[in-house]
Amino acid sequence: MKMPQPRFLLRNRRDTSTVKTSPLLLRPFPTSVTGSLSFMASEKRAITIQEILKKTGGRLVGQTNGDIHSTASLDEAKAGQVSFLANSRYSRFLETTNATVVFVKKEYPNSSTAQIVIADPYFAFTQLVIELHGHRPQPHATVSDKSSIAPDATLGKDCHIGDFVTLSNHVKIGDRCILYPNVFIGPNTVLGDDCILYPNVTIYDDCSLGNRVIVQANAVIGEDGFGFATHKGVHHKIPHIGKTVLEDDVEIGSCCGIERGAMENTVIGKGSKIGDLVAIGHGTKIGDGCLVVAQAGVAGSVKMGSYCQIGGQAGIKGHIEIGNGVGIAAKSGVHTGLKDGSIVFGTPAFDIKKAIPSYLAIKSLPEMRRTIKDLERRLSKMEKRKETADQ
């Protein structure tokens, strides 16, 4: 028996006559394409020390010759490579590195290694990595004949649509988006320009992605939230009528689950970066520029401010407010709201300056217990001797 095809799985991609295109589309998609990926090549180049100084605004200390052709860590760098030192704790590596030049925050006059002194060595190094190596090469703008695209889906110009991609009814894709194989986009979802969705990404219906959003492989955006009404011992599913919104420049890591809201939208603010295997609960709102490290979990209806940093495997209770610029250390459990600028650690999490000595004291508890027991025995003997003497 032949199974009926869902209405958004309409036809072989060779039939392009019914596909709506953006008004900005200057040329049609090719009507004969293959299912294979053809990647843009990244150009390799070298850069002189003077060019680096001009681009970064740094100050050269010491003498060095030769061009820079690549980047590396301090302990692995060789001649012709540049590295960085952001933490003075590792300054000893300046004496053993073979790097041609190293970005540093302050000058190390006793080192024989050439240095470029700059306020933010890591950022300068990052810019040079981009200059020399670029980002991952992406596929050319083609549409696979193995994709399934609804006739009322809208494609911007110069997009790449990979094998077995599904674009459902009323989907709108911006310019220069790249959708790798097996991506699914549900009805009424909108993508901005320059988005990249890696293989097996699933985006449910009625989601909104801004410009330059990156979603790594196997992530799920807009899934139903974990919401149930328990009545007479039965857990009844609550319909989730909210949406999921990823604002401009958001990146979602591999295997994340970003739930849609039960009533209010789930929102990830501009420039926020979510690591692998992170769960974001329904109706949660994360502010701009936040960093959420791998395996963290944020329960539903959390309101998080901007520029927060959440460590790996941290857990945040639902229905609380987290202020701006908050830091939560790895494996911490947050059960109450946090004010702006708070830095917390532990389970339950509290101020890190108090938490660290408190948790360090845990290692001494067995010895402290033995000491207390010994003191109790000695005190008991002293009391008995006193009682005998009083008699």
Written as tens digits, the pLDDT of the chain (391 aa) is: 333 333 333 333 333 333 443 333 322 333 333 344 554 445 567 899 999 999 999 999 998 878 999 999 999 999 999 999 999 999 999 999 999 999 999 999 989 999 999 999 999 999 999 999 888 889 989 999 999 999 999 999 999 999 999 999 999 999 999 999 999 999 999 999 999 999 999 999 999 999 999 999 999 999 999 999 999 999 999 999 999 999 999 999 999 999 999 999 999 999 999 999 999 999 999 999 999 999 999 999 999 999 999 999 999 999 999 999 999 999 999 999 999 999 999 999 999 999 999 989 999 999 999 999 999 999 998 988 888 887 7
Please state whether beta strands 279-280 and 257-259 pair in parallel, antiparallel, or not at all (unpaired).
parallel
Amino acid identity of residue 149, one-letter, is I
The residues annotated with a catalytic role in the active site are 282
Q: Where are the beta strands (DSSP E) in 12-152?
A: 20-21, 59-61, 70-71, 81-85, 101-104, 115-117, 148-149
CATH fold of 201-348: UDP N-Acetylglucosamine Acyltransferase; domain 1 (2.160.10)
Domain positions in the chain are 49-133, 201-348
**Those residues with Cβ within 8 angstroms of residue 304's Cβ, 6 or more apart along the chain or in another chain:** 284, 285, 286, 287, 290, 298, 316, 321, 322, 326
For 167, counting Cβ atoms within 10 Å of its Cβ (0-12 exposed, 13-18 middle, 19+ buried), the class is: buried
Q: Collapse the DSSP code of 298 into the 3-class scheme (helix H, G, I; strand E, B; otherwise coil) and give the result.
A: strand
Q: Collapse the DSSP code of 350 into the 3-class scheme (helix H, G, I; strand E, B; otherwise coil) and give the result.
A: strand
Name the region of 62 (left: φ>0; alpha: ψ -120 to 50; beta: rest): left
**What distance in Å separates the CA atoms of residue 381 and residue 325, rounded to the nearest whole number?**
56
- Homologous superfamily of 49-133 in CATH? MurE/MurF, N-terminal domain (3.40.1390.10)
**What distance in Å separates the CA atoms of residue 300 and residue 225, rounded to the nearest whole number?**
8
**Those residues with Cβ within 8 angstroms of residue 192's Cβ, 6 or more apart along the chain or in another chain:** 174, 209, 210, 211, 212, 213, 248
Amino acid identity of residue 8, one-letter, is F
**pTM > 0.75:** yes
- The closest of 211, 197, 236 to 222, measured between CA atoms, is 197
